[in-house]
Every structure is written in structure tokens, then in C-alpha cells.
Amino acid sequence: MREENGMELLKERIRKDGKVKEGNVLKVDSFLNHQMDIGLFREIGKEFKRRFAGEEITKILTIEASGIGIACIAGEEFGVPVVFAKKTQTKNIAGEVYTARVESYTHGRVYDIIVSKEFIRKEDKVLLIDDFLANGKALEGLIQIVEEAGAHLAGAGIVIEKGFQPGGEKIRTRGIHLESLAIIESMDESTGEIRFRESAC
């Protein structure tokens, strides 16, 4: 059923329940980021474990809100604690937190993400987890925090990458071990058709 390098279950679900909307929006809120199918999350967590089997990982870092559920299930697979970066538009107490500025294209706003310095140490080997990768701004913010902490960045695991947007390319070019379980090559809002990068699926 499942391919060596893919995750057929996830792709089938995206095809079945994902809705292509105006402006390159893929709505997957019936199973991924509003209502959450935890059985699917378990399969996603196991797949991340397989793909990062060669990496030593001591902590998972994600970002609120929609990364949290996936990161928690993955955290159990890896047997490590999970930290989520908080989004804030208020001024932060300098010194106690790492911060990064993130520009959101989807929501047309800029926000800061913060992580308490207590929870990412320089000894940590950090795996980043998030639900979506499009322009890569949120992921770049998380990477900046890991770098600021002086921790080792083990890699980044993404559920759905929009392959036609520049985030994935930017991250891979930096030599970061990025694993996206489903990479969308193109999608058509008039027909609802979704094409994935691996031609076999």
C-alpha cells in the first residue's frame, strides 16, 4: 500500500478531502488543522520517525496552533519532549525568550514567535515539525531560534509542502534535511485536481 519514499495514505486523504480554493489555498481542515484525525497523525509520526531514523534527536520544536497535534504524536514516536513557539504581537521580555519575526502571506501580517530560553539548550538536537510549508517564513523563524540557541538543527518534517512556492527550495538549498510527506506540484481550483511531485502517485 505505502510507497518507499512517500505516504500514500496521506496523499489519498488530501485528494479525497482536500479542497482547492482561490489563491492557491488548500483546505485540509477536516483532518489536519481544525478537525484532526489522530489515526492519520500516528501514521505521520511513524513516517517522520522512519525518515529521520539516522538523526539523533532530543527535542521537537513546532509552532502554534496547527503544528502542535502532529508534533505531539511525533514526539511520542521519537520519545522526546515537544516545544511549541508562541505567536505574539506584543512586546516581549528581552533576555528570557528567543524571538524571530515571521511574515505571514496567508494572513497578511507580521508577528513574532517566541520560545523560552529554558526549553531549547545548546546541547539539544532539534527536529522541526509543521503542517504546511509554502513560502517558508514560519520554518525560517524556527530555524533562526534554533541557531540563536546554538542548538543542532537535525532537520525539518513537514506534512504538506506546496512545491510550487519557494519555501522548500530555499530550505533545501541551505543544506537542511527537509522531509515533506506530500509535495504538491500543482493544483487547479476550477477542477479541484491536485498533482503530487512523485509521478507514481
Residue 79 Cβ vs a second copy, minimum distance, rounded to whole Å = 8
Task: Please select the residue that binds a second copy; options are 38, 105, 169, 193, rule is CB under 8 A.
Answer: 38
Q: Which is nearer to a second copy, 34 or 172 (CB)?
A: 34
Are 16 and 8 contacting, i.e. CB atoms less than 8 angstroms apart? Answer: no
Q: Per the structure block, which three cell numbers stand in for 88?
A: 505574539
CA distances from 152 to 55, 127, 134, 170 (A): 11, 9, 24, 19
Cis amide linkage into residue 74, ω under 30° from 0: no
Q: Is 16 exposed, middle or buried (0-12, 13-18, 19+ CB in 10 A)?
A: exposed
DSSP 111: E
Task: Please select the residue that binds a second copy; options are 8, 37, 103, 148, rule is CB under 8 A.
Answer: 37
Angstrom distance (rounded) from CA 28 to CA 133: 14
SS3 126: strand
Q: Which is nearer to a second copy, 14 or 115 (CB)?
A: 115
Cis amide linkage into residue 65, ω under 30° from 0: yes
**Contact between 20 and a second copy (CB under 8 A)?**
no
Angstrom distance (rounded) from CA 111 to CA 132: 17
Residue 119 Cβ vs a second copy, minimum distance, rounded to whole Å = 4
Residue 114 Cβ vs a second copy, minimum distance, rounded to whole Å = 9
String marking each residue 75-94 x if it binds a second copy according to CB under 8 A: xx----xxxx-x--------
Q: Nearest 5°: CA angle at 131, between 115 and 193?
A: 155
Residue 148 Cβ vs a second copy, minimum distance, rounded to whole Å = 17
**Contact between 116 and a second copy (CB under 8 A)?**
yes
Subset of 43-72 contacting a second copy (CB under 8 A) = 64-65, 68-69, 71-72
**Contact between 119 and a second copy (CB under 8 A)?**
yes
**Contact between 182 and a second copy (CB under 8 A)?**
no
- Positions that interact with a second copy (CB under 8 A): 29-31, 34-39, 41-42, 64-65, 68-69, 71-73, 75-76, 81-84, 86, 115-116, 118-119
